Amino acid sequence: MANIRKQLSLYAPEPAAIPVEEIRRVVDPVQHRLIPAHVTLCREDELTDLERITDTLRGNSFAPVTLRFGKAEFFDGHGLILHCVEGETGFRALREALLGSADIRNQRPHLTLAHPRNPKAPGNALANTAGLPTPFSITFPTVFLIRQTGRQPWEILDRFPLRGGPATSR
């Protein structure tokens, strides 16, 4: 039986996603094919009470989350990542609300441009990330419940618009 994974993610919306996706297509075409540019909000091991979490999201009054990202950096060999440099407090507050606790793992939001588990692409170079302004911000207006079966592309199971107040970037 194939491994099935679920997680909650914040997909980068257009038009902000366009330059990020252009870079991802070059630096890691495998990852680009598997999943759009995103920030993982809650990993599969945190979704033990998924029904409660999705009920919370359905009745939510959470504000969209705005995150500011710094320059691309290499990690774990040929992985390329954009770390969040502002907005982590609002991100964590949303995680705490969804997971129903302040006692959660510290998860630094980031955008993965190239994942080190994939083969190194010919275009995998910091120079190919120069088209992104530094720093730059993305407002994420929707939480997506997604699933991956084996090594197939991730699929969207549900989407939850963040409808409350102005964007959270604290």
pLDDT score of 166: 58
CATH number assigned to the domain with residue range 4-161, chosen from the 4 options 3.30.1360.70, 3.90.1140.10, 3.40.50.620, 3.40.50.300? 3.90.1140.10
pLDDT score of 60: 83
pLDDT score of 28: 98
**pLDDT(140) > 60:** yes
* Percent of the chain clearing pLDDT 70 (strictly above): 96
Query: Tens of pLDDT along 106-130?
Result: 999 999 999 999 999 999 999 999 9
- Asked if 168 contacts 94 with a C-beta cutoff of 8 angstroms, the reply is yes
pLDDT score of 1: 66
Query: Tens of pLDDT along 14-43?
Result: 999 999 999 999 999 999 999 999 999 999
Task: Give Cβ neighbours of residue 168 (< 8 Å, ≥ 6 apart).
Answer: 62, 63, 64, 65, 66, 87, 90, 91, 93, 94
- Check: pTM over 0.85? Answer yes or no: yes
Helix segments in the chain, DSSP class H: 17-27, 29-34, 50-58, 88-99
Rounded average pLDDT over 148-163: 96
Q: Where are the domains of the chain?
A: 4-161
Which DSSP category does 36 fall into?
-
pLDDT tier at 57 (50, 70, 90 boundaries)? Answer: very high
Least confident of 58-67, 137-146, 152-161: 58-67
Write the burial class of residue 4 (CB in 10 Å: 0-12 exposed, 13-18 middle, 19+ buried): exposed
pLDDT score of 61: 87
- Asked if 82 contacts 160 with a C-beta cutoff of 8 angstroms, the reply is no
